[in-house]
Amino acid sequence: MHNESMANILVRDLPSDTHAELTRRAHARGQSLQRYLTDELTRLAAQPSPDEYWDRVASRAGGRIGLEDAVAIIRTERDR
């Protein structure tokens, strides 16, 4: 039995073609629409948002090289 209270989400004005596609994907996985959306939203929430991702990239020091150097490194790695 599940004792923890789980959050609920209500999505209004979802286009019918979007609902149909999500239902199709859930069915293809052998899942209910609720289970499919729970899994997908959990996966989405575990990933950084695009803004968080670019903030991480911007905060990294160094790593800047010119195009010619990048091409030379790639060629060296490729030719090994």
Tokens of 60: 């990294």
Q: Give the CA angle between residues 19, 7, 26 to the nearest 5°.
A: 30
Tokens of 45: 């929430």
The CA distances from residue 38 to 8, 32, 35, in Å, are 10, 10, 5
Let me know: does 32 contact 26? Beta carbons within 8 Å.
Answer: yes
Single-letter amino acid, residue 12? R
Tokens 């039995």, located at residue: 1
Q: pLDDT digit string (tens) for 4-38?
A: 788 999 999 999 999 999 999 999 999 999 999 99
Quote the mean pLDDT of the chain.
89
Domain ranges of the chain: 16-60
Would you state the pLDDT for residue 6?
87
